Structure 1
Amino acid sequence: MGRTLSLIAALLALLAPALAHADPADIDAAARGVVRVVIISNDGEEIYPVSHGTGFAVGQNLIVTNAHVVRDAMNDEDLRIGIVPSGGGEAVYGQLAAVNARNDLALVKLTGSLRLPPLALAGRPVEGAGQVTSVGYPMNVDRAQGLAMADIFRSTSPVKSLGYVSGERPSRQFDTILHTAPIARGSSGGPLLDPCGRVVGVNSFGADNEGGDAEFFFAVSNRELVPFLRANDVEPKLNDSVCRSLEDLDAAEQERLEREQMEAMQSLAQRAEETRELRERALLKAQLSVAQDREDRMALAFVLLLAAFGIGLWGWSRHERFDAEAEDAELHRRKINIAFGIAAFLVVVALIAFLTRPGLDEIDRRVAAEMQEGATESGGEDPLAVNSGGDAELVCRLLPERSRITSAEAPDIEFDWTAEGCVNERTQYGYASGSWSRVFVPNEEDAVSVNSFDPDRRVFRSERYLLPRSAMSEAREARSRYSAPKCGEEGAASQLGDLQGEVLGQLPHQPNERLVYQCEARH
């Protein structure tokens, strides 16, 4: 049996490189919402634990666990359910909200607030031979650490164990996942997670192995968990996106940027060639049109001079024969003067026509006008470059192929952006190292968000760091040491860019989630 299991593990290890690998940061982020579920008795003198299991948050004050973990509390009114958080803080009591013994699920409502982050549930079936992680509080680990039953009231981190999915099958009249991620007594009710830290099942029991610890284990699948939650008016956080690592996304992003750069270079070369051909055509056209205009002007000047010469000659001949004593002398004098006036006018017009004939510099002006007209007809400027970096009213839509979503919802985003980095006239973004960003450190959620915007490409990005309580406290302390400048203040962008540096310096190297949006003008 042992050799067979070793062979299966070796085969799974060979398959593993082709599959998604669990990210420790994602598993740690999910573990923040995992709790120890303790069944407590009170003999009148002291409070002591009777048994314990594991649970995890599916709502702000709602815990899922196994029905068999809370069975004793269901049958004995003197027993109570205690909930011990993993990240520190006081334990609280819980009350049974719903129990389904058929599929071994129970819902517990907390009587106090632990501010537990609800775990996201995988919205797609788990892949065969896919990697999974069990998270819980096995008793054998407690014993190995020398912890007595009374010690389980202390906040301790849950145990994480890695394995692989061996199959999905109905068992004990409900749908289960068979896997090899070790669990033991006390792990019951804990989540079975995919590589992105999303719940694929609730660990329930192990296969019998002649009285020893089981080497194959069963988890109640999400096909049972989701209907159970909805039947009790709990809408789970479902996430059906493909689990991808940030390394994969970064590699794809680098490949995309290189492809865009190559396409841009090719487009630039093509546009340069088109511009050259357009300029050659425009130059030839301008040269021909300028030469024609020069010839027309010079011909016009010549014709006007001939006409002026003829009229002037006629006037001169009449002037030579002019008889001042004749009866119509005044009329003849007027006609002669008119003739000389017309001749002089024609000479002036001819001179103007000659002097205003197009010069060689007119060729350059006509080429420029032709190029401008050709650029307008070909479509003008790049639409993304219009208003680049300026004021804009935008709507941004998620790009799933460039995003990594482990828990958060990603609806469309609408906002107004100004060239000074002000969003919706109230939120100033900081400018540092050539990028616009704003760091958000909320008090009501254990997650730091870093939002950034590229106004040239109109790409909005939100990166979320799901931190443990200790790291979150440090981030809140660092954030409390500065006040973000308001929109419109002088130097607000660069000032905020410097102030945010301390919080950014405390964050892990990589975020847990990355949401990438493409924005366009809002109509």
Structure 2
Amino acid sequence: MTRFISALLALFALVLPLATQADPADIDAAARGVVRVVIIGSDGDEVFPISHGTGFAVSPTRIVTNAHVVREALQDDTLQIGVVPSEGDDATYARIVSVSPNNDLALIEITGSLRLPPLTLSGGPIGDSGEVSSVGYPRNVDQAQGLEIEDIFNSQPPVKSRGFISGTRPTRQFDSILHTAPIARGNSGGPLLDGCGRVIGVNSFGAESGSSEAEFYFAVSMKELIPFLNANGVPARVNELPCRSLSELDEAERARIEAEQDKARSDLAARSEEQREKRERAQLEAELEVQAERENAMLFTLLLLLVGTGAGVVAWQGWQKRQAAKVEDGATADPRDERKLMIGGSIAAVALIAALALWFTRPGLDAIDRKVDAAMAEDGDGNDTPGAKATASGALTCTLDVSRSRITGAPDETVEFGWQDDGCVNGRTQYGLASGEWSRVFVPDQDEAVSINYYDPATETFRTDRYLLGRNAMSAAREARGKYSPPSCDRANAAAELGDLQGAVTSLLPEAPNERLVYRCEVKE
């Protein structure tokens, strides 16, 4: 019975689909763009918070939240809206751009210098299951920490909670997602994220429940949010691809490489068999051809010898008659005998020389090998290596290979870049060589992400690993990057030197990237 139950459980594990697991690194990356939205009152020079909710960036300066979060500020123009980021001390103010009470959405815009990393929206279908995460600033957590209401002006990391989608269902006013990722007062306006950190909804309210009942929560769905952003001219980052983990991607890549290797071995075996059969046919044809050539040469040699012998006999007869004439005193030699001697002798000599030349120049057995090699080389099959191709240099155009990529944002479908065999671009060694890989590290001043570009000249594959870092981690990466400059191209071992220098940045990065983009490249025409 125990074995039966174990076997049954194993069968269920194979048959039942597994829920997509949230990647903590992706949730953390999304949390960088989540802010506390504070409604602020004033009394003279004193300002004080009245209420707060959550919002998230859909552009560097624009933030989505709930309409009910900013309702008080909309009704009372003496109130202000504050925005407090998760890191740093640059809290600022915002103004209302648009409010849609019917679907509980609002769009506000930062009026100060603060810039935020926008979150990516999920444009794919939402199923009836799967793990999700709520990110925001629940008020009960602030109270449990003993924070005073004034403390909400200070940066705090948002709270993350996990749950599952329980289905999609329209309310009386708007389309919503039902889920079990806990939210509380203060979470309103915060994002509901899928396993890749993409927004699938805007948390709005919870269902009333007693202590003995399961708790459910509602989020405004993408069917409401995307049209709302479009109507307000916000070019949101939308990703419609399925959420894949890096482990799934790595496993698929291993399977792809193994399949390519199996195919290469199969092609090589088939090619070898084809070459063997072709060589056997060429060998047989060459043997027959050489044998025929040798037999023809021997036959013509025999004919030449016969001709030469006949001509020699005629010449001999002419010589004998001339000699007989000399013996008889006073006799005159017959001119015809002289012609026989001259013509017969000439023909005999030529025939003998030709016979000897034909005999010694008849094809030998080594001619068989030469003919076989010539036949094998006719189709260009001589020494070609299967799968070999030249390394491309110069301006390259690379196209995104979605099947080999983990895409959490909205990347470019094509990229162009210049490549030289020594990693040199514009007089500087831009690509460093370390552990057999060509790579280039980008640490931008504005974008809150570090990118490492890899290029494999042998396969013409371009890859970008993107690490979505918080403010403090980005500051450390920028500081490390600022301490070195790429060496000039004429310096000895410049690529290896740059590879070592880039280690100062790569050593600060997480173990795995948040996004991996793989491109196939070709020379730009």
2:470 is matched with which residue? 468
| 1:479 aligned partner | 481
Greater Cα shift, 70-79 or 481-490: 481-490
Paired AA for residue 418 in structure 1: Q
Q: CA deviation at 1:327?
A: 9.9
Give the whole-Å Cα distance in 2 for the aligned partners of 1:145 and 1:15.
44
Matched, 1:119 2:122: no
The C-alpha deviation readout for 1:185-205, integer Å capped at 9, x for no partner, is 111111010111000111111
Return 5+ residue gaps in structure 1 as ranges. 1-12
Q: Which residue of 1 aligns with 2:81?
A: 81
Deviation, structure 1 residue 58: 0.4
Amino acid corresponding to residue 345 of structure 1 in structure 2: V
Percent identity between the two aligned chains: 56
| Correspondence 1:262 to 2:248 | no
Say whether the 8 Å CA contact 2:229–2:235 is kept in structure 1: yes
- Which residue matches 2:282? 282
Task: Indicate if the aligned counterparts of 1:27 and 1:196 stay in contact, CA closer than 8 A.
Answer: yes
**Corresponding residue for residue 129 of structure 1:** 129
Aligned counterpart, 2:5: none
- What is the CA distance between 1:45 and its match in structure 2? 2.9
Cα distance change, pair 138–486 in 1 and its aligned pair in 2 (3 A): same
Contact 2:393 2:523 in 1 (8 A): no
Distance 1:255 1:181 in 2: 35
C-alpha contact 1:36 1:53 (8 A) present in aligned 2: yes
Asked whether the equivalents of residues 56 and 119 of structure 2 are also in contact (C-alpha less than 8 Å), the reply is yes
For residue 486 of structure 2, what is the amino acid of its counterpart? A
Q: SS of the residue aligned with 1:18? A: coil
Q: Distance in 2 between matches of 1:446 and 1:354?
A: 86
User: Aligned partners of 2:428, 2:388: CA distance in 1, in Å?
Assistant: 25
Are 1:158 and 2:161 an aligned pair? no
Partner residue in 2 for 1:6: none
- 2:388 maps to a residue whose letter is A
Choose from 509, 512, 517 the match for 2:511: 509
3-state SS, counterpart of residue 464 of structure 1: strand
Matching residue within 503, 518, 521 for 2:520: 518
> Given residue 363 of structure 2, which amino acid in structure 1 is its aligned partner?
P
Partner of 1:236 in structure 2?
236
1:355 deviates by 1.8
Q: After the TM superposition, which of the residue ranges 218-227 and 280-289 deviates more from structure 2?
A: 280-289
Which stretch of the first structure deviates more once superposed, 157-166 or 399-408?
Answer: 399-408
Residues 484-493 or 427-436, more deviating: 484-493
Q: CA deviation at 1:264?
A: 2.1
CA gap 1:519/1:45 in 2 versus in 1, 3 angstroms: closer
* Counterpart contact for 2:461–2:519, Cα < 8 Å: yes
Q: Secondary structure at the match of 1:189?
A: coil
**Which of 357, 362, 372 pairs up with 1:357?**
362
Counterpart contact for 1:395–1:412, Cα < 8 Å: yes
Quick check: 225-234 or 432-441, which moved more? 432-441
State the match for 1:206 in structure 2: 206
| Deviation for aligned residue 1:412 | 1.9
CA gap of 1:48–1:425, structure 2 versus 1, over 3 A, is: same
Name the SS for the 2:507 alignment partner.
helix
Per the alignment, do residues 356 and 393 of structure 1 end up closer, same or farther by CA in structure 2, a change over 3 Å counting? farther
Matches within 5 A, 1:98-117: 98-117=98-117
Question: How much does 1:273 deviate?
Answer: 2.1
How far the C-alpha of 1:303 sits from its partner, in A, is: 2.2
Structure 1 residues 334 and 88 mapped into 2: Cα distance closer, same or farther (>3 Å)?
farther
| Cα separation, partners in 2 of 1:352 and 1:496, compared to 1, 3 Å | farther
User: What TM-score do you get using the length of structure 2 for normalisation?
Assistant: 0.89
Per-residue CA deviations over 1:127-179 (Å, capped at 9, x if unaligned) read 11221111001111011111111111111100001011112122241111111
Segment drifting more, 47-56 vs 23-32:
47-56
- Correspondence for 1:308: 308
Instruction: Look up the match of 1:443.
Output: 445
Structure 2: how far apart are the matches of 1:19 and 1:141?
28
Q: Show the counterpart of 1:8.
A: none
Matched, 1:366 2:368: no
1:410 maps to 2:412: yes
| Residue 247 (structure 2) pairs with residue 247 (structure 1) | yes
3-state SS, counterpart of residue 309 of structure 1: helix
- Alpha-carbon offset, residue 487 of structure 1: 5.1
Match runs of 1:14-93 below 5 Å: 18-93=18-93
Q: Quick one: structure 1 residues 489 and 75, their matched pair in 2 at CA, closer, same or farther if it must change by over 3 Å?
A: same
Task: Out of 454-463 and 488-497, give the one that drifted further.
Answer: 488-497
Paired letter, 2:259: R
Change (3 A) 1:338 1:408: farther
CA distance in 2 between counterparts of 1:435 and 1:35 reads: 39
Task: Check the 8 A contact 2:432/2:497 in 1, yes or no.
Answer: yes
Structure 2: stretches of 5+ with no match in the other structure: 1-12
1:385 to 380, 385, 388: 388
Q: Superposition pairs for residues 310-349 of structure 1, below 5 Å? A: 310-322=310-322, 336-337=341-342, 339-349=344-354
Higher mean C-alpha displacement, 314-323 vs 407-416: 314-323
- Secondary structure class of the residue paired with 2:378: helix
Preserved CA contact (<8 Å) 2:397 2:522: yes
Of 135-144 and 276-285, deviating more is 276-285
Q: Quote the RMSD (CA, aligned, Å).
A: 2.9
Runs of 4+ in 1 over 6 A off after TM superposition: 13-17, 211-214, 323-328, 423-427
Q: Which has the larger radius of gyration?
A: 2
Distance 1:215 1:270, change over 3 A: same
Question: Residue in 1 aligned with 2:436?
Answer: 434
Shift of the 14–59 alpha-carbon distance from structure 1 to 2, 3 Å rule, reads farther
Amino acid at match of 1:484: P
Summarize the Cα distance change of 1:129–1:65 in structure 2 as closer, same or farther, 3 Å threshold: same
Task: Label 1:480 to 1:300 Cα distance change in 2 as closer, same or farther (>3 A).
Answer: farther
Cα distance in 1 for residues equivalent to 2:427 and 2:300: 65
Per-residue deviation, residues 98-152 of structure 1 (Å, max 9, x unmatched)? 1111111111111123231110100012211221111001111011111111111
* Equivalent pair of 2:454/2:463 in contact (CA under 8 Å): yes
Give the 3-state SS of the residue equivalent to 2:103 in structure 1.
Answer: coil
The answer on whether the counterparts of 1:410 and 1:515 sit within 8 Å (CA) in structure 2 is no
Match of 1:197 in 2: 197
Aligned length: 507
C-alpha displacement at 1:359, in angstroms? Answer: 2.1
Asked if the contact 1:428–1:492 (Cα under 8 Å) also holds between the matched residues in 2, the reply is no
Q: Is the 8 A contact 1:184 1:213 kept in 2?
A: no
Could you tell me whether the CA contact under 8 Å between 2:19 and 2:130 is conserved in 1?
yes
CA distance, structure 1, for counterparts of residue 337 and residue 489 of structure 2: 86
Alpha-carbon distance change, 14 to 266 in structure 1, aligned in 2, over 3 angstroms:
closer
Distance in 1 separating the partners of 2:67 and 2:136: 16
8 A Cα contact 1:87 1:156, kept in partner: yes
Cα distance change, pair 59–483 in 1 and its aligned pair in 2 (3 A): same
